[in-house]
Amino acid sequence: MFYLVAAAFIVLLAWRLAVAPEWQDAIGGSMAGVAKPLLVPLVDLINKPSFVYVVSIFILLSAVGVCIYYWLRVARPELRRLRRLEGAIRSLAGPRQRGHDGADALAELGRVLGPAAVFGPSWAAYHGEARRTGRVPAAPYAPLALHDLGAIEGTRGGLMQALPGYYTSAGLVLTFVGLVVALYFAGKGFQSGDVGEAREAILRLLNASSFKFLISVAALSSALLISLVANLSHSAVRRAARRTIEAADQHLDALRATQAPPAAEPTLTDVVERLDRLIAGIQTLADRLAIEPPGVRQPLDAT
């Protein structure tokens, strides 16, 4: 019931505002009285060329700061971690050097790769196949690792990938706000009725437009810089991850070389020959059972 009463009151109030010009004038005057002390200084500030210079420099400096922060806090630590992981893998000894079997060497490699967030799931699948067969799988580890690496990278867009779009949007918004302000002052010049003042207003509008587009140039340059740094960092991390995967595959190749070759599976010819010998033996046994008198059993020839 309360919501119905409130909705009816809002509808009546909106209808009254729509049909009562005195209410509209009163509300408009009140809002103008509140907004003018805040907006007029802001509009004057936006219309100054110094504001454009300050905002443009701030946009460029913020982009440089973002790139430095991303490299120092995200990309470089990841590169160092991958390089340490690669070094740890290459320092592992093979079973012939350490005197243990391939299972121990595989477990030792797992202790290096397992805790890594990037390679943990792929190594779990690869090691599970090794435990199931009791041997180092013949397939390389790289396809599994690269698949997981691509899946993780696909979900790691984060803020760095979105920042170029934010910078571009902010630059366009600020540019159009500046143009609106410049048009406002140009309109005031035309309202005066003085031809000279109107001409000055047009010149100020043209000059202000060139300044306002400087913000867009700064924003687009910042977006390009951030995209370039993000892509270069991403490529460096991916190359380091590939080197780590290659080191793991080289270690696995060494383990495969030390394990005994798998037992040869019988060919189709072997199966047919064994089946023929079995059938011949069964036939010989049936013939002898058919011709022997009851209670007499002779030794069978070895088949």
Our CA dihedral for 233, 237, 238, 240, rounded to 10 degrees, sits at 140
Is 5 in the same domain as 86? no
Confidence of residue 99 (pLDDT cuts 50, 70, 90): very low
Is 164 in the same domain as 207? yes
Count how many domains the chain has: 2
| Distance, CA of 191 to CA of 50 (rounded, Å) | 26
204 found inside a domain: yes
Check pLDDT > 70 for residue 192: no
Is 119 in the same domain as 254? yes
Is 81 in the same domain as 174? yes
| Distance, CA of 144 to CA of 139 (rounded, Å) | 10
Q: Which of 131, 90, 60 is nearest to 245 (CA)?
A: 90
Q: Which two tokens stand for residue 300?
A: 């069978």
Check pLDDT > 90 for residue 202: no
Largest Cα–Cα distance in the chain?
Answer: 141
Burial class (CB in 10 A: 0-12, 13-18, 19+), 5: exposed
By mean pLDDT, which of 1-15, 81-95, 215-229 is the weakest?
1-15
Is 66 in the same domain as 8? no
280 found inside a domain: no
Residue 140: CB partners within 8 Å, gap ≥ 6?
A: 249, 252
Phi, psi of 119 (to 5 degrees): -105, 0
Is 154 in the same domain as 39? no
| Distance, CA of 232 to CA of 230 (rounded, Å) | 6
Is 81 in the same domain as 116? yes
228 found inside a domain: yes
Per-residue pLDDT tens digits for 148-176: 676 555 545 578 888 999 999 998 888 88
Domain extent at residue 123? 49-258
Count of CB atoms situated within 10 Å of the CB of 301? 8
Q: Model pTM?
A: 0.66
Per-residue pLDDT tens digits for 207-220: 666 667 888 899 99
Per-residue pLDDT tens digits for 249-289: 888 888 877 776 655 566 777 777 778 788 887 877 777 77
| Distance, CA of 248 to CA of 89 (rounded, Å) | 6
